[in-house]
Amino acid sequence: MFTGIVTDLGKIRAIEKRGDTRIEIETSYDTDDIDIGASIACSGPCLTVIEKGPGWFAIEASAETLDKTALGDWTVGTTVNLERAMRIGDELGGHIVSGHVDAVARIVDMQPEGDSVRFTFESPGEFSKYIAPKGSVCLDGVSLTVNEVQGNNFGVNIISHTQGETTFGSRKVGDRINMEIDTIARYVARILGKD
């Protein structure tokens, strides 16, 4: 489990395509404190550490992960949002995030609004019903509050702090973004028979 509060910006240092795709990520985390088999959210998806060294760790992404997320867009040098798995007693600063990406959203507009930037995202149609004004959504591993919803589009304000501490500071219109819908919204829709 995660909270959607990014604690490090990693950088892709190597990608090796084979049966599964092996990806090495540079990090400022103390890798002595990361166990092999640990889960780390990497711009949304919960991925398993398979190898590590000083200042880096490696994960494997299956064809399913590459197909269902924006990880296939990563190249050497890509910056990624990182969050280590929550421990019992940790502050839940964002919302409950599983690290299971539901879909890939797309940035369709960005407008300055005070010190923030108003991002508009387009969600795949079948997931739009799970997004509600003032509800939570996890985008590229970041817990965010939805401002408004209009059809398949929804808006989010990214404050200057979040721009500086996550990859949203360098995003542009057209970028594909990993999206995880709110777990509570998913279960409410299921109970009401709307899924």
Compute the distance between CA of residue 171 and CA of residue 78 in angstroms, rounded to an integer: 12
Compute the distance between CA of residue 167 and CA of residue 36 in angstroms, rounded to an integer: 26
Which pLDDT does position 70 carry in this prediction?
Answer: 96
8-84 with 103-191: one CATH topology? yes
Q: How confident is the model at residue 194 (pLDDT cuts 50, 70, 90)?
A: low
pLDDT-wise least confident of 16-20, 93-97, 100-104, 153-157:
93-97
The answer to whether 17 and 101 are in contact (CB under 8 A) is no
Q: Name the CATH architecture for the domain at 8-84.
A: Beta Barrel (2.40)
Can you tell me the mean pLDDT for 125-153? 94
Which pLDDT does position 86 carry in this prediction?
Answer: 81
Domain boundaries, the chain: 8-84, 103-191
Which pLDDT does position 125 carry in this prediction?
Answer: 85
pLDDT tens by residue, 170-191? 999 999 999 999 877 777 777 7
Compute the distance between CA of residue 28 and CA of residue 55 in angstroms, rounded to an integer: 6
Residue 116 CB: number of other CB atoms within 10 A? Answer: 16
Compute the distance between CA of residue 25 and CA of residue 114 in angstroms, rounded to an integer: 34
DSSP label at residue 34: -
Look up residue 33 and give its two tokens.
Answer: 């404190």
Compute the distance between CA of residue 6 and CA of residue 128 in angstroms, rounded to an integer: 24
Which pLDDT does position 167 carry in this prediction?
Answer: 98
Which pLDDT does position 46 carry in this prediction?
Answer: 96
Which pLDDT does position 195 carry in this prediction?
Answer: 62
The answer to whether 75 and 11 are in contact (CB under 8 A) is no
Can you tell me the mean pLDDT for 31-47? 97
Query: What's the full length of the chain, in residues?
Result: 195
pLDDT tens by residue, 55-79? 999 999 999 999 999 999 999 999 9
CATH, range 103-191:
2.40.30.20
Which pLDDT does position 94 carry in this prediction?
Answer: 73
pLDDT tens by residue, 71-122? 999 999 999 999 999 877 777 777 788 899 999 999 999 999 999 999 999 9
